[in-house]
Amino acid sequence: MPRELEESALVDGCGTAGALRRVLLQAVRPGLITVGLFAFLAVWNDFIAPLILISDSQKAPLPLAVANLRQQSMGAVDYGATEAGVVVLAVSCLLVFLLLQRHYVRGFMSGALKG
């Protein structure tokens, strides 16, 4: 971030906390949201760590529960239940992205405009 943004906020009467909140955090919001979205997707779709660390199947996250569906059907794979679990995983990620999309567009447009 350019140092001039903080200095102009201080000249306009903001304190250091106000400049941080009103100017700098607003400028880096799209980046923070991107990092938050990637962290959510990494935790939501994590399979290996819960497989190793969780022994109680009642506390298993959704990707592990979907994998367990395939193993509990006595040799036959229940594709309907497996695909329903995959759709729930995908739709929840899509909903989080759609909720945060307006912040992406606002960040892209603020960087594209001059003046």
pLDDT band at 115 (very low <50, low <70, confident <90, very high): very low
**Cβ proximity of 46 and 59 under 8 Å:** no
| Distance of alpha carbon 56 from alpha carbon 43, whole angstroms | 18
Per-residue confidence band for 104, with pLDDT thresholds at 50, 70 and 90: confident
pTM above 0.85, yes or no: no
Average pLDDT of the chain, as a whole number: 81
Is position 7 within any domain?
no
**5 occurs within a structural domain:** no
Asked whether residue 60 is domain-assigned, the answer is yes
Q: How confident is the model at residue 109 (pLDDT cuts 50, 70, 90)?
A: low
Query: Residue 14 carries which DSSP code?
Result: -
Q: Is residue 92 part of a domain?
A: yes
Residue 11 within any structural domain of the chain: no
Q: Which is it for the CA torsion 94, 98, 103, 106, positive or negative?
A: positive
Averaged pLDDT for residues 26-38: 83
55 domain-assigned? yes
pLDDT in tens, 64-97: 888 887 776 677 778 888 889 899 999 998 999 8
Domain count, the chain: 1
- 24: in domain: no
Cα–Cα dist 97/67, whole Å: 24
Task: State pLDDT tens for residues 40-56.
Answer: 988 888 888 888 888 88
Is residue 106 included in any domain, yes or no? yes
The domain in which residue 71 lies consists of 30-112
